[in-house]
Chain A
Amino acid sequence: MIKVEHLYKSFGDLHVLKDICLDFEPGKCNMIIGASGSGKTVLLKNLIGLMSPDSGEIWYGGQKLSEMDYDEKKALRQKIGVLFQGSALFDFETVLGNVMFPMNFFTDWSREQKIERAKFCLDRVNVKGADDRYPSELSGGMQKRVGIARAIALNPDFLFCDEPNSGLDPYTSNLIDKLIHGITEEYNITTVINTHDMNSMLEIGDHIEFLYNGSILWKGDRHSILGTDCSELRTFVGANVLARNII
């Protein structure tokens, strides 16, 4: 359960987020959609504490993020899995090493157990036979999938994905969507996904927030999005050929 109250963030004169209020529930794929540059990544970074808001509060369960001390933050972060927009895999580790990295720190598993778990995660995102390769030797889409495997390595309670399927082919993209949706329901994870991919929204958008120029203009889900009467959202959605034929 994540709750955001009246969040503001600006960079100098650029007001990126204005009065954002959100509620994200566990077991659901919560989506933040919006055009490029609308502030999705900035919002996500505020949510996970990599940036601090100018004002406003973020609640994890019953706790304010801004009032947590170092150890509380650390404990919370072990329950958070993040997939960054640029994957952010560690150059100095192999694919397997990347997925095992959080396990090395926060579990007492034996090496065999860690490898087994890592292989299981890699299997779920459909990365096979690349265990010993380094991130620089992978395609962008593969990096993304390894990033997801790393994010789910420790069975997080909260999963944040910044554009999990940009740069992927439609088939893999769909596979990733279903994977995220699957584990979200299976483990009752509070999942937050940034995306501007129509397909994902319609496939797994249990709860959708439309970010426009730094404000939330519309809330809904995958069933209501095509029938919306919010004109900005209609323009955004209508850019997709298939969707245009429906709305």
Chain B
Amino acid sequence: MLKRFLESVGRYCLFLRMVFRKPEKWRIFWKQFVIETDKLIISSILIVGVISLFIGGVLVIQTASNMSNPMLDRMLVGYMVRETLVLEFCSTVVALILAGKMGSNIASEIGSMRISGQIDAMDMMGVNSAGFLVLPKVMSATLLSPLLMMFSFVLGLLGGWGVVELTEIIPASKYITGIKYAYNGFYVVYSGFKMALFCFLISSISAYNGYYAAGGSLGVGESSTKSIVITSILILLFDLIVTQLMLY
């Protein structure tokens, strides 16, 4: 068990070394980068947006109903919603959603290329298949995912504001004051960094599992399931580690 785990880690590191070899031609890399950005980042905007809007709204209602004590200023609702969103929801929870969406996409795409011999064909041409297929995905997911996190943050606040306007659960002006209160820019950096790290894990681990998929279409399914399970656990683990390191 431990031996198998260490073997996988070693193989994963060797895989990363292959991925991060200098691309044969930068022009081809950038072309793939744009394609992957569309597939991984742009196509995630809708789902991230919808989820963030709703969670923002729900957070406002839950927080407001848990702070009915008249001694507490109602603007604290806005403040707490903002902190919850930026600290945990927009990076960790959104990353967990992306682990499903991005992870299964990457693992099954690369896995089916493996079992149909397309990766062999690439290797036989002398093309670094891991570099060509995986590097653009990893770079795009890692570098651009913090934008998704910011987007989620903004929409979450908007969702909260929408609920405030509709239900008047707290005065709208209090909500606005609250979300501006004691603003700490470092939290956004912290959250963006977490998101980049999580998306690096998602993209590289799913690609690794797909790249070494074996056993026909069943193997592809297995690699995609395995990726989601492993990355979800690692996201939570690294959430703990990074938070301890950066915030404490």
Interface residues of A, Cβ cutoff 8 Å to B:
48, 50, 73-78, 80, 82, 84, 86, 88-91, 101-102, 104-106
Contact = CB atoms under 8 A, between A and B. Distances in A.
A34 to B, nearest CB: 21
B118 A77 contact: no
Interface of B: 24-25, 28, 113, 116-118, 120-128
A88 B128 CA distance: 16
Contact of B124 (A75, A80, A89): A80
Contacts of B123: 50, 77
B118 A48 contact: no
Contacts of A74: 126, 128
A78 B28 contact: no
B25 A88 contact: no
A102 B129 CA distance: 12
Nearest to B133: A92
Nearest to B128: A74
* Top 7 A-B pairs, shortest CB-CB distance: A77-B126, A88-B117, A88-B121, A78-B126, A74-B126, A82-B124, A102-B125
Nearest to A93: B118
Given A105-B24, A105-B25, A86 B126 contact: no
B120 A50 contact: yes
B125 A104 contact: no
Contacts of A48: 124
A86 to B, nearest CB: 5
Given A50-B123, A88-B116, A90-B121, 7 more contacts: A74-B126, A77-B126, A80-B124, A82-B121, A84-B120, A104-B28, A106-B125
Contact of B118 (A75, A82, A90, A104): A90
B126 A84 contact: no
B28 to A, nearest CB: 6
Nearest to B124: A82
A104 B128 CA distance: 13
B124 A101 contact: no
11 contacts: A48-B124, A77-B123, A80-B124, A86-B117, A88-B117, A88-B121, A89-B118, A89-B121, A104-B25, A105-B25, A105-B28
Contacts of B125: 77-78, 101-102, 105-106
Contacts of B121: 82, 84, 88-90
Contacts of A105: 24-25, 28, 125-127
A94 to B, nearest CB: 14
A89 B125 CA distance: 12
Contacts of B126: 73-78, 80, 105-106
Nearest to B25: A105
Nearest to A154: B125
A88 B117 CA distance: 5
A76 B124 CA distance: 9
Nearest to A101: B125
A48 B125 CA distance: 11
A91 B118 contact: yes
A88 B120 contact: yes
Contacts of B118: 88-91
Nearest to B132: A105
A86 B28 contact: no
B231 to A, nearest CB: 24
A173 to B, nearest CB: 21
A49 to B, nearest CB: 8
Contacts of B124: 48, 50, 77, 80, 82
A91 B108 CA distance: 13
Select the residue from B25, B28, B124, B128 with max chain A CB neighbours within 10 A.
B124
Nearest to A51: B120
Contacts of A91: 113, 116, 118
Select the residue from B113, B121, B127 with max chain A CB neighbours within 10 A.
B121
